[in-house]
Each structure stands twice: as C-alpha cells, then as structure tokens.
Amino acid sequence: MNRWHIGTMRPEEARVHDTWKGFHKFHAEETQEEYGSFEIFWHRGGGWDEDMPDDESYPAGWYWRACFPGCLPDGDVPAGPFATSRDALQDADEWHPEFDEED
C-alpha cells in the first residue's frame, strides 16, 4: 500500500481530480489572447519510459508540458507533480480566465 501523499491527498484520490485534463491554450497577461498549447496529464509514478533508470523516476501526480496535440512536447521533463489538475493549470497559465476572480 502506498502511504505517501500529494498535498493532502493520496495519489489514487488525486487522480480523480481531472477537470482540467487535456490540451489548453496559454493566455497573454494583458489581452487574455490565446497562444501556444500545453497538456495537463496524470502520471502514475516511475520513469517516463522503460529505459529510464530508477533514480530518474518521478512521483505520481498531475503534470503539464508545452506541446500541441499530435506533436512531441517542448523539453524533456514536464512541470510537476501537482495535487490536482487545477494546480497544474494555474502553474502553466497563471493568466487563465479561471483565475481572474482570485486574489
């Protein structure tokens, strides 16, 4: 049984919070104009591929990476882990309209 937590949740609970899973556009600070693309996804833990040594594994959680659907991502390692897909969205796109109402 896995006893570590992502924030205040166990990994199996955090995976359920997938409201923002999938591809999104970044938003410009002043104009809210959309540009580029990024993906929010759940990673179950471990390496990104089978050839990755154990000392290069990543914990379970929500991650994001800049990329377009059907294309290779920009960069080798995604940002994360985050406790929820919403946390990953806010890290990736702090100017997203979802966060206009917040402090």
State residue 70's pLDDT score.
84
**Side-by-side strand order, sheet with 79-82:** 22-27, 34-43, 61-66, 79-82
Is 50 exceeded by the pLDDT of residue 2? no
Residues 49-97 have pLDDT tens digits of 665 555 567 888 999 999 988 888 877 789 999 989 999 999 999 999 8
Q: Is residue 3 part of a domain?
A: no
Q: Is residue 30 part of a domain?
A: yes
Contact between residue 80 and residue 61 where contact means Cβ atoms under 8 Å apart: yes
Q: Is residue 5 part of a domain?
A: no
Q: Which residue has the higher pLDDT, 14 or 68?
A: 68
**What's the whole-model pTM score?**
0.73
Is 70 exceeded by the pLDDT of residue 31? yes
Q: Which residue has the higher pLDDT, 26 or 17?
A: 26
> What is the tally of structural domains in the chain?
1
Is 70 exceeded by the pLDDT of residue 38? yes
For 2, 5, 60, the CA distances from 38, given in Å and listed in that order, are: 30, 26, 19
Residue with tokens 């990543």: 58
Write out the residue range of the structural domain in which residue 60 sits: 11-99
